[in-house]
Chains A and B, each alone.
Chain A
Amino acid sequence: MSRTMTHTRFSGAQRLLHWTMAAGIVAMLFIGVGMLSTVAPSYVPLVATHKTLGVALFALVLVRLVLRLVLGAPPLPASLPPLMRLGAVLSHWGLYGLMIALPLLGWAMLSTADYPVVLFGNFRLPPILPQSDSLHTLLWAAHRWLAFAFFALILLHVAAALFHALIRRDGVFEAMAPLPLHGTERKE
């Protein structure tokens, strides 16, 4: 991906989206596994929250992608070894891919089970696939295992961000930091 920005930080809108969505996605992962671990009354509101927040995040990631394509990203520091650079680029597009795939898989999985997709406020989504046992099984497994892969990739991403912030101190963390930290310029 070409990094067209000449400035050293992501735009305010991009940073805002990154951090609101980060909080939302972490919540989604914990709600997802948490709701399936209980038969308590909280199961019903947890599932409703999972569906509603998931669909909201899907809308946000579309906005975020447009911003990314229009505004680009600040260049990675020249000092970054090629393998790390490749890792950064691939993992970022992997994260974008999963942010798009998981909500679609969740919605499709409910459609193939003939469940009405009801969000908070009684907002209803139409089915995006017909009922199908085999598709439901496939989508269910994909939603589950890709969600776990998403969590693993996020852990890697967080470790890398902290690695930049604490060890390399090369301005990569500052590029996405919610507030300007001192020394926001990238190390070239």
Chain B
Amino acid sequence: MSRSSTGPTRSPVASLVVIALVVAGSAAAFAYTAGWLSPERLTPTRLVSALAPAGGPALGHRRNHAKGICFTGEFQSNGNGVTLSRAQVFTAGTWPVLGRFNLATANPNAADATVRVRGMGLQIATPDGDVWRSAMIDAPVFAVSTPQAFFDLLQSAPKGAEAMKAFIGRHPEFMAFAGWAGTAPWTSSYAEDSFNGLNSFLFTDAAGTPRAVRWSLRPAATPVPIAPDELAKRGPNYLEQEIASRVAAAPQRWTMVLTVAEPGDVTADPSKAWPAGRRTVEVGTLVVNKVIGEPDGPCRDINFDPTVLPRGMSVSDDPFPAARSSAYARSYDLRTSEAKDYPRTAAAGSAKP
């Protein structure tokens, strides 16, 4: 009955070696895949750590665009977008919106006039169950061409002028953004800012035709330029106070504009604007009608991950949405695990003045 006679005659020691090799080899392959053997690999964890200021991150807060305030409202779609995407959000109708005005800083207590870039997180939900999330900034182009270059920027910026010069040598595309940052007028209200998605996404219409698209929100309010020192005089949190009272007085509006790439336009690089004269489609109006503080607000525990898209929209060859999704998830995991460091009621907390 014993089948040892039918099997190959290998010594038990050799068999044990085989078993040990299989186990050790599998464990090594797992560790390699996880990146534990390659500390130079750019992981979401490293990218997010690089955002932290010298004193460490603000616990419980977003690792970037940390200062912000929630809003709710609606998106009034005019139906024009259906020529580009079959997403329900573009059919004529009014859909609920949740969003967040924010400043591009890792410091939730930064003074408004010290932060050049402003942003908006936006979520539009439709009855078919689809959700569209987006995080946009007021700059017309992004600072760099690739996520790797963004990591390089985060590492170079704190090291001073020499390091930045070297960085610009490696990433000359930065100059377009620097030009905007140096010359574009500041405003004293989120309601007067444009917000640009910058990344390219593929929109698919009902016939299945894909097209590369970028989107922007253009303010209905006329921008009134203000010098940064003038803004500074109004107080460190003027923007949040202003938008809260402005919206309390009257809903604020932005027009959503889609821009369609033409064949040959670079869709993989958000630091390059598309040539003027591209087809644009006004698809509807964002109406913000309520502003709510972040500690208890509905935007607090939302990740405005740019890869959360409705049917009819998907990522393109632009490498940023994937990198952002991985980094935002990491930031979300961290900040939700630190929730006790950011008390829910503003009164109880020290995190927000």
A: which residues have CB within 8 A of B? 29-30, 33-44, 47, 113-116, 122, 124, 131, 133-134, 136-137, 140, 151, 155, 158-159, 162-163, 166-167, 169, 171, 182-183, 185, 187-188
Contacts and interface: CB of A to CB of B under 8 A. Distances in A.
A116 B33 CA distance: 27
Contact of A115 (B2, B30, B47, B303): B303
Given A39-B43, A124-B129, A114 B327 contact: no
12 contacts: A33-B34, A38-B44, A38-B326, A39-B322, A41-B319, A43-B322, A113-B303, A114-B303, A137-B339, A151-B30, A155-B26, A185-B1
B350 interface: no
A167 B129 CA distance: 56
B279 interface: no
A30 B47 CA distance: 21
A159 B2 contact: no
Given A39-B47, A43-B322, A136-B336, A30 B15 contact: no
A174 B323 CA distance: 46
Given A44-B325, A159-B19, A34 B3 contact: no
A188 B2 CA distance: 9
Contacts of A116: 129-131, 308
A35 B322 CA distance: 11
Interface in B67-126: none
Interface residues of B, number: 51
A137 B322 contact: no
Given A40-B319, A169-B7, A183-B6, A158 B22 contact: yes
Nearest to B11: A167
Contacts of A39: 42-44, 47, 147, 322-323, 326-327
Contact of B337 (A124, A137, A171): A137
B12 interface: yes
B346 interface: no
Interface of B: 1-4, 6-7, 10, 12, 15-16, 18-19, 22-23, 26-27, 29-30, 33-35, 41-44, 47, 129-131, 147, 301-303, 305, 307-308, 311, 315, 317, 319, 321-323, 325-327, 332-333, 336-337, 339
Contact of B15 (A33, A113, A167): A167
A25 to B, nearest CB: 13
B326 A43 contact: yes
A167 B10 CA distance: 9
A163 B333 contact: no
Contact of B315 (A44, A114, A158, A187): A44
B339 A158 contact: no
Contacts of B47: 39
Contacts of A183: 3, 6
A188 B34 CA distance: 43
A122 B6 CA distance: 53
A158 B26 contact: yes
Contact of B30 (A33, A43, A44, A167): A33
Contacts of A114: 301-303
Contacts of A40: 319, 322-323
Contacts of A34: 33-34
Given A171-B3, A187-B3, A155 B321 contact: no
B318 to A, nearest CB: 9
Contacts of A131: 301
Contact of B22 (A35, A159, A169, A185): A159
Given A43-B322, A115-B308, A169-B7, 10 more contacts: A36-B43, A40-B319, A40-B322, A41-B319, A44-B307, A114-B302, A134-B339, A166-B15, A183-B3, A187-B1
Contact of B33 (A33, A122, A169, A185): A33
Contacts of B23: 155, 158-159
Nearest to B324: A39
A135 B30 CA distance: 28
B34 A113 contact: no
Contacts of A42: 322
B40 to A, nearest CB: 12
A4 B307 CA distance: 50
Contacts of B315: 41, 44
Contacts of B337: 133, 136-137, 140
B301 A41 contact: no
A8 to B, nearest CB: 12
A167 B16 contact: yes
A108 to B, nearest CB: 14
B46 to A, nearest CB: 9
A145 B23 CA distance: 19
Contacts of B6: 182-183
